[in-house]
Amino acid sequence: MFSKIFFLKSLVYSNYLFLLCAMIEIDNYRCVKYSDFQKELNAKYKAAEKSYVKVASEIKVKSHVTVKNALNLDSLQMVSDELLTKVMKSVGLSGFVIWIFGKKYYYIKK
């Protein structure tokens, strides 16, 4: 009885891991490290030719410093995922952030 239960749990666990690996690959998007994500975001920001104040008003935050923090290349993520994705939309970067089992993944369009 114990071996059947163990086998069933192992099978479910291995199928779950397989689904997790399949779930991470998303058509037309690539998973990138945060540093690469930030470089892409900053490139889009520069190409959009918007000021921090303009982006801040578009995403409805009180301070342009929030936008500056979202675009900071020198540190880890300083703003929430929600604000980060709003900045992405404002500057024209197609992508998203997802969490899977406590690990964060950054995706941008290929």
Over the stretch 57-108, which tens digit does the pLDDT of each residue have?
Answer: 999 999 999 999 999 988 789 999 999 999 999 999 999 999 988 888 899 9
Over the stretch 79-92, which tens digit does the pLDDT of each residue have?
Answer: 999 999 999 999 99
Return the domain boundaries, the chain.
2-109
Cβ pair 88, 17 in contact under 8 A: no
**More confident position, 100 or 15:** 100
pTM, full prediction:
0.75
**What's the CA gap between 36 and 54, in Å, rounded?**
24
Mean pLDDT confidence for 28-44: 94
